[in-house]
Amino acid sequence: MISIENVSHHIGSQRILNRLSLDIPAGGITALVGPNGAGKSTLLSLMARLQPLSDGHIRYGSQDTRSTASSELARTVAILTQENNIHSRITVRDLLMFGRYPHHQGRPQAEDSRVVAQALQDFQLQAFAERYLTELSGGQRQRALIAMVFCQQTPYVLLDEPLNNLDMFHARELMRQLRRLTDQNGLTTVMVVHDINMAAAWADRIVILQDGELACQGSPNDLINPDILQRHFGLDADVLDYQGKKLVVHHV
Ligand SMILES: Nc1ncnc2c1ncn2[C@@H]1O[C@H](COP(=O)(O)OP(=O)(O)O)[C@@H](O)[C@H]1O
Ligand SMILES: [Mg+2]
């Protein structure tokens, strides 16, 4: 379980997260949704300790991020951040091998090469393996970065808007892969997603964050209804039932 307890975060005098407490059960996909500026990226970065936690606690099982050694945390949780301006001349294969660093500490073994090869296949990157990141489209680069996260082989995976830049085909392929990798490896995957229909179709639970606070949480079928969409997104939309899932009609 991921336990977020009483987490607050300020930037200057601006309050970004306000005494947020949330338990994310182990196993499965949790979709973190909420309006722009709600604090989703801030929360994920605190969860991955990309910035220090000033108030509260975040724990993975019994490991408190305040006291976990960096080398241990790197084998516990991996993150895809929202902003990725990687312009260095590194190939996709080398990037994925870099994701293995917590395991090989700079001396890759056969097992590391095997994991990288598998990730290239899982994320349909074989054709780009020897290309530099600078030579890829935005969506191809995004898939390479996600593949790197999975090469870390951590039980907890945090993905901030992984669907960014992906075309419809690759967005659905990615959700299928996330579902498969999460289920087969017993992972706890937390992803920020704006497309509520992707959350409805693929996530086990949805957490809505608003103004730095937990607005509500639940299963997609329980949570998604016109009232919730109106209250938390100011969105006037119909909600249909389609193949046992909720389908939000929000484009017209
Ligand atoms: N470096 C920063 N300096 C000042 N304000 C920031 C900074 N980073 C984020 N914020 C503010 O914090 C709030 C939450 O941002 P963020 O966590 O990125 O939201 P979300 O990911 O939900 O869109 C926003 O109001 C944003 O403007
Ligand atoms: Mg964000």
For residue range 129-169, what is the model confidence (pLDDT) as tens digits? 999 999 999 999 999 999 999 999 999 999 999 999 999 99
**Looking at residue 21, what is its pLDDT?**
98
Ligand 1 pocket, 184 CB below 6 A? no
Minimal-distance CA residue to ligand 1 atom 24: 37
- Please report which residue ranges of 57-137 form alpha helices under DSSP H: 70-73, 92-99, 101-104, 110-122
Contacts for 118 with CB less than 8 Å, ≥ 6 apart: none
d(CA 137, CA 85): 13
d(CA 53, CA 16): 12
Residues β-bridged to residue 249: 238
Res. 86: pLDDT tops 80: no
d(CA 25, CA 2): 6
- Burial of residue 196 (CB within 10 Å: 0-12, 13-18, 19+) is buried
d(CA 155, CA 95): 20
d(CA 111, CA 103): 10
Ligand 2 centroid to residue 104 C-alpha, Å: 31
CB–CB of 5/11 below 8 Å? no
Ligand 1 pocket, 16 CB below 6 A? yes
**CA end-to-end span of the chain:** 39
Of 14, 16, 83, the one to substitute when testing ligand 1's pocket (max ligand atoms within 8 A of C-beta) is 16
Q: Which ligand is nearest to the CA of 209?
A: 1
Ligand 1 pocket, 171 CB below 6 A? no
3-state secondary structure of 228: helix
CB–CB of 65/73 below 8 Å? yes
Q: What is the DSSP letter of 82?
A: S
> Each residue of 195-232: pLDDT tens digit?
999 999 999 999 999 999 999 999 999 999 999 999 99
**Looking at residue 61, what is its pLDDT?**
96
**Looking at residue 84, what is its pLDDT?**
79
- To the nearest whole number, what is the mean pLDDT of the chain? 96
CB–CB of 89/132 below 8 Å? yes
The distance of Cα 202 from the centroid of its chain, to the nearest Å, equals 13
C-alpha triplet 174, 241, 216: angle, nearest 5°: 70
Minimal-distance CA residue to ligand 1 atom 7: 11
Q: Which ligand is nearest to the CA of 161?
A: 2
**For the chain, what percent of residues have pLDDT higher than 70?**
100
233 φ, ψ (degrees, to nearest 5):
-120, -5
Residues β-bridged to residue 213: 210
Residues β-bridged to residue 247: 240
Of 17, 41, 194, the one to substitute when testing ligand 1's pocket (max ligand atoms within 8 A of C-beta) is 41
CB–CB of 194/204 below 8 Å? no
Residue 173 binned pLDDT confidence (cut-offs 50, 70, 90): very high
> Which tokens in the block code for residue 107?
């001396």
Res. 88: pLDDT tops 80: no
Ligand 1 pocket, 42 CB below 6 A? yes
d(CA 136, CA 167): 14
Minimal-distance CA residue to ligand 1 atom 16: 39
